[in-house]
Amino acid sequence: MSTPRIRKAVFPVAGLGTRVLPATKAMPKEMLPVVDRPLIQHVVDEAREAGIEHFIFVTGRNKGVIEDHFDRSVELEENLKGSGKAQLLSQMRHISTLANFCYVRQSEALGLGHAVLCAQRLIGDEPFAVILGDEIIDAPVPGLAQLIHAYKKRHGAVLGVQEVPHQEVNRYGIVSPRAMTAGLHRVEGLIEKPAPAEAPSNLAVIGRYVLPPEIFPILRKTQPGKNGEIQLTDALRELAKKSPMYALEVQGQRYDAGDKLGWLIATVEFALKNPSLGPDFCDYLQNRMRPSGEHRTTRSRKA
Ligand code: G1P
């Protein structure tokens, strides 16, 4: 049986970013940089590498700068060209080419389920991906590509999951799993942010989904749930009653970069892996961790 290709991905980016205030008071949290790429570009690159061609952003107030980031900046390009910075110029052009970006406005923050529903007209009648920009996955095979691979084999909705500490289940959608093969589970139910005592497992949905268009009529009927929001998790629970749904344990290192500590950890890890910054930054950290009084800052360098 052949499965339709996953060509489109929805990026819900209308959230207020309250976990990183005041940095996000006037700037979208999706534009917080992790080393030299904003969070949103990390997940767009992941989607691109997984074969996505249409990028649908569900935006809200104060998010215009995301559009600017993925648009061409002719003035900047001319400047880089004039000053002979060919490599930077090609990087800037790469951001705005190769893909089709569309924007739809979520006028009220009514929840993740509502955000996905806002993209219905742009998705139409085909399966699609949803990617949450808070979570960055560093993996040899991009997180979304792992889900798409499972989707092609199983022909059903696939949710990316990872185990989380039991006391943290109340921060995630948690699946009720039936093990099938190593790392793949049939989803028998889901619950949004349960108390640890009510959680059916510690397998948490980590912001990566491959969904059929049948989710839309369900979302349309979904009533506000946890925190008074229309929850994608509640609609997925209904979908799982009607058609097969799978939870795939995503291989890779995940960072919750929409949280201050998670963002700091992601920044340090990506900086250490960066070929031009890593060695100097590593020296700096090693010096910095020496007993107090002994550390020195690394040499300063001009850009
Ligand atoms: C959302 C989803 C939740 C999922 C989480 C992953 O919650 O509702 O099911 O586990 O993303 O990051 P949020 O973090 O937006 O409250």
pLDDT tens for the chain, 303 residues long, are 577 899 999 999 988 778 889 988 888 899 999 999 999 999 999 999 999 999 999 998 777 888 888 887 778 888 888 888 888 888 777 777 766 889 999 988 899 999 999 999 999 999 999 999 889 999 999 999 999 999 999 989 999 999 999 999 999 999 999 988 889 999 999 999 999 999 999 999 999 999 999 999 999 999 999 999 999 999 999 999 999 999 999 999 999 998 899 999 999 999 999 999 999 999 999 999 887 755 555 555 444
Separation of alpha carbons 94 and 86, rounded Å: 12
Separation of alpha carbons 77 and 86, rounded Å: 10
| Structure confidence at residue 25 (pLDDT) | 87
Instruction: Please choose from 132, 163, 174, 209 the residue to mutate so as to test ligand 1's pocket, defined by most ligand atoms within 8 A of CB.
Output: 132
Atom of ligand 1 nearest to the CA of 205: 10
Would the CB of 173 count as within 6 Å of ligand 1? yes
